[in-house]
Amino acid sequence: MRFEELYERYRTGTATAEETARVEEELAKFRLLTDYVAEHDELDLPEPPTEAEAREYRAVKRRARRSRRETVKLAVAVTCAVLLVGRLLLWPLLNQFFFYNPQRENLEQAMAVYSSLFFPTQSCSGTYAENTGLGRWEVTLQMGDWTGGGRRPARMQGAVHLWDLSFEDAFWEGYCPVNQWKSAGDGGEYAPGQSPAETAKKLRKLPDYTQGVLCLSFDRDLSMAELAGLMDAHPDLRVCWVKVRTLEGDGVLLPPTGFEPDGFIPDTGDGMRERYPWLFLEQHREDADRGAFYENHFKDLLRYMMDQKQTVWELGGAEHDQYQRALDYVEAHGVQAQGVFVSGSPADLAALCGEEAVSWASLDSICLYPDMK
């Protein structure tokens, strides 16, 4: 039985003689211990502090509070300094050398080349990139649209997030459909348009104050010299884009590839003219052999994109090896035109439809002549 129970029985007088003796024995032990502690426990209680000691105590507390405040201030200052150094030094370094940087990668020049290769009726004439944070950029492309008879500037928005470069959906609509050309393999069976004679008949019914964009397929591949001769025979027309064969037989590398024979590629310096001597049109406009110039220009467009591995990866679309495959083909077989996009007056376009080399014609767009707008 527990002592508490024994004691309760003892206190109420219900304990047996044996239980009573046991409880009294324990109580005697407790009294002896209490007496012993009372005799030997000398408590050394402190004296009340003097006035001087109280002042010293208060001074110590004030110094402790000041020390804590200084420690907090120092911690805040160090944290701010670290953040400031990171923002002013580390942040720009990461943006410049670690994440995708549109300024470092010469995105303006790359997009001008890219649009020349893949966009029949649009070209990139300028790029603006604004840093908006760590690894973040807002990108604006200034695009020229040749559909509708004349350059209508349009802005395409894009963004960079770390290593990811993206553009709004309207940008990707600039690609040329694979079935645009009658000679494009299986897709050519569904090429829009009709015979050149029927197209010319429709064009002659249009008023003189309109201007159109025509997509023409050739009955055979034309060399660049033959293409230059065709352009010379129709000086009032503007060839907006030339579709180039980049794969043997009826195969087609996607997206369809070509070039803008009158486009502008900005020169960013850094030895660009030495590495790509045929990339910049303005220094070859007076060349007598325009066929050779167009051939070399197209090859330099491909070589340039092959060297832009990071931008090519970010853009998607054409894979990096596509440029190499296209270059290998034209090096072996020459640069040959399967068709063209051309703009001009209805009468001039109708005359072009009468050329023997033209096998199919599709009227892409008609608008008021630019001077009439």
Confidence of residue 373 (pLDDT cuts 50, 70, 90): very low
Would you say residue 129 has pLDDT above 50?
yes
* Residue 153 CB neighbours (<10 A): 10
Between the CA of residue 317 and those of 143, 175, 176, 254, 311, what are the distances in Å? 18, 9, 12, 8, 11
Q: Looking at residue 301, what is its pLDDT?
A: 93
Would you say residue 358 has pLDDT above 70?
yes
Q: Which residue has the higher pLDDT, 147 or 75?
A: 75
Q: What is the pLDDT of residues 38-53, one digit of tens each?
A: 666 555 556 666 777 7
Q: Looking at residue 222, what is its pLDDT?
A: 94
Q: Looking at residue 370, what is its pLDDT?
A: 56
Q: What is the pLDDT of residues 265-319, one digit of tens each?
A: 877 777 788 888 888 876 666 666 888 999 999 999 999 888 887 777 667 656 6
Average pLDDT over residues 229-242: 92
Q: Looking at residue 372, what is its pLDDT?
A: 43
Q: Looking at residue 303, what is its pLDDT?
A: 92
Adjacency order of strands within the sheet including 136-145: 122-133, 136-145, 152-161, 164-167
Q: Looking at residue 189, what is its pLDDT?
A: 57
All structural domains of the chain with their residue ranges: 3-40, 46-98, 107-172, 178-372
Average pLDDT over residues 184-202: 72
How much of the chain, in percent, has pLDDT values that exceed 70? 76
Angle between helices 224-233 and 290-307 (to 10 degrees): 120
Average pLDDT over residues 97-110: 66
Average pLDDT over residues 113-126: 85
Q: Cα–chain-centroid distance for residue 270?
A: 24
Average pLDDT over residues 124-133: 76
Tell me if 210 sits within 8 A of 368, measured CB to CB: yes
- Report the range of poorest mean pLDDT among 77-86, 132-141, 278-287: 77-86
Whether the model clears a pTM of 0.85, i.e. scores above it, the answer is: no
- Amino acid identity, position 80: C
Q: What is the pLDDT of residues 3-38, one digit of tens each?
A: 777 777 777 878 788 888 887 888 888 778 777 766
